[in-house]
Structure 1
Amino acid sequence: MSALFLGIDGGGTKTAFTLVSDDGRRLARHEATTSYYVEIGFDALRALLRDGVQAALAQAGVTASDVTQAFAGLPAHGEDSTLLGRFDTLLAGVLPRSAVGNDMVCSWAGSLAGSDGISLVAGTGSIAYGEWQGRGARCGGWGEVFGDEGSAHWLAREVLALFSRMTDGRAEPGPLVGLVRKHFGLQHDLDLCAAINGGAARSEFAQIARLATAAATAGDAQARQLLVRAGDELAALAAGIARSLALAPGQAVDVSYSGGVFASGDLVLGPLQAALARRLPGAALRTPRFGPELGAALYAARLAGQPLSPAALARLQD
């Protein structure tokens, strides 16, 4: 029987379970809701992981004992040392051979197929992870209160701040005003306070970021500038990784990316590439080879000491 690797890519919006074989066949995929423990709690997180694993195994017609190795990359892992024990046991009794880490690893393993370089994640939150000659480093991922620059949550906050400036005369009004009013169904602009203070979930709040792209596409120069700033903030994360890994100035290094913010396409990728040229000469921005869902499974294979062959990776890409 082929070796089987189960990857769990957690996130602020969704959690994906992907089972692959050592010869590059995708055997199952299951999707669930957020796995951000701060939002749903550890009990719900444990149940979500258990149910998701069982659903993926049922799809493939295999049992937990058939899985060679599993890896779960979860948001906020490592950000409270007192909780590491609780994270480490989330899959106990569910899978006999498993490991838990931060979801940034899924993005790196997928976008760069496990090769040296830097991965930028800009989804609900933002973070970067890189590996170079056996060393690894993390940058960012400090959370929405005082970090997560360049993320969807950060962009959403900046969108609302710009709307407030536009509507009370501190900034020239642009297409963003109408988009925000329509999105929230505002009868009066100040009703936005009630809409936000009502306590939208973190993942729901982050969806407001899409209005920056819509407004920029409609010709709103100030909204466009928010996306330029996002690109620069994400380039700063890459530069931080390069410093932590002690890369030589001008060292050629691949930088790739994942996350919903990049759905804005060139509106973010263009500024990111320009900012990388300033902050990290030698960096080459690469289109992701795989997404973080497959990245989680690829990392599981690596943990098992059985990284997928070039032929298997090519089959996954077909």
Structure 2
Amino acid sequence: MGHLYGGVEGGATSSNVVLIAEDGTVKAKVNGPATNHWLVGLDKCLESINSMILDAKKAAGADPKVPLKSLGLTLSGGEQDEAIRALVQLLKERFPNLSENYCITTDALGGISTATDTGGIVLISGTGSNCKLVNPDGSVIGCGGWGHLIGDEGSAYWMSLLAIKIVYDAVDNYKHTPFNICLVEEAMYSYFQVSNRTALLTHLYRTFEKSKIAGFCRKLAEAARAGDHLSCHIFRRGGQELARHVVAVLPHVHKSLLDGKFGLPVVCVGSVWNSWDLLKNGFLEVLKEVKQRPMAKNLCKFSMMKLKCSSAVGAASLGARHIGYDLPMDYANNVDIFFEHCFKL
């Protein structure tokens, strides 16, 4: 068997691995646990990466003792240079047969590298949120990605917590809401399997799990589609926050990214985008307002696209490129354009 190039898409809830041959053929796919080292700890992160790669090697029929040619890891929380160096060093020390070379970067870059080789915006909204603009010259401008304490706007976690906060404030008579909270309050107690707000505090503090709280967003989506006005409001707010990420990086977009057939490409990664019908109005409100400003005068069109495969594919490509090899990639087959918008002149 020839050289194998590995890619890891690491998230705060789950992770994916692919192994790709030199000709671009995907030889193995494996799913696994969270690999955000800020959330699960460094040791568990490393062990999970090694375990997934071993499973992938076996699935590909490769010798587990033969290192991959390269391993690209696009990890949620993989943005600090010092932390990246520590991860690479520990991977080499603990698992010498894992890979010959490593390239670690943020999960956002995995998404854009799966969709295109010319650049664009990748906008993540899953458990957490993040946004990265990658220009054709390779320069990267970011907005968000700071985690649940000071960021994650527009994510499943953020929308879930917003809904919970609105309910608490309304019941306390601390802050008025024009929406009926009954359906969301009932769904909240049912999802967390508690009978009152005090019991819910255990989930918010003592046994806090970001992914558990983020999971409540699915119940909000169900309620919104059933016509609950508060849930619809939550998703509208989420759409607005996600659009503000795009606005933040817009002044740095290279002109060539605006002139293509699809206009500005926005690669949407994460499960929250499955609720685009609920996010859409808020998202468009913000971009239509910004279009009136000089900073957005060249923005005539944008296209929203989802990946049809794991961004671990892009991670593998980045890892290969890191050592000077360009893996053959069928970018057009990797994405599905689900929404396009042209601004009126």
Query: TM-score normalised to the size of structure 2?
Result: 0.81
Q: Does 1:141 align with 2:145?
A: yes
2: CA distance, partners of 1:250 / 1:278:
18
Amino acid across the alignment from 1:67: L
Q: Does 1:266 align with 2:281?
A: no
Q: Which secondary structure state, in structure 1, belongs to the residue aligned with residue 283 of structure 2?
A: helix
RMSD: 2.7
1: CA distance, partners of 2:335 / 2:150:
38
2: CA distance, partners of 1:300 / 1:82:
19
- Aligned match of 2:314: 295
2: CA distance, partners of 1:88 / 1:240:
31
Query: TM-score normalised to the size of structure 1?
Result: 0.88
1:251-298 deviations in whole A, cap 9, x for unaligned? 742112111211223112453344334335335122224442322223
Q: Which secondary structure state, in structure 2, belongs to the residue aligned with residue 286 of structure 1?
A: strand
Post-superposition offset of 1:90: 4.2
1:25–1:315: 8 Å Cα contact kept in structure 2?
Answer: no
Q: Percent identity?
A: 22
Post-superposition offset of 1:313: 4.7
2: CA distance, partners of 1:181 / 1:241:
38
User: Where does 1:1-318 land on structure 2 (aligned, <5 Å)?
Assistant: 3-63=3-63, 65=66, 67-79=68-80, 81-92=81-92, 93=96, 94-110=98-114, 112-134=115-137, 135-168=139-172, 170-171=176-177, 172-245=180-253, 252-279=263-290, 281-290=299-308, 291-309=310-328, 312-313=330-331
Q: Which moved more, 1:53-62 or 1:18-27?
A: 18-27
Query: In 2 relative to 1, CA 255–189 (structure 1 residues): closer, same or farther, beyond 3 Å?
Result: same
2: CA distance, partners of 1:195 / 1:211:
17
1:170-210 deviations in whole A, cap 9, x for unaligned? 33324212211211233234322234233222222221222
2: CA distance, partners of 1:13 / 1:288:
19
2:224–2:232: 8 Å Cα contact kept in structure 1?
Answer: yes
1:231–1:268: 8 Å Cα contact kept in structure 2?
Answer: yes
Amino acid across the alignment from 2:205: N
2: CA distance, partners of 1:315 / 1:287:
12
1: CA distance, partners of 2:42 / 2:186:
40
Query: In 2 relative to 1, CA 316–238 (structure 1 residues): closer, same or farther, beyond 3 Å?
Result: closer
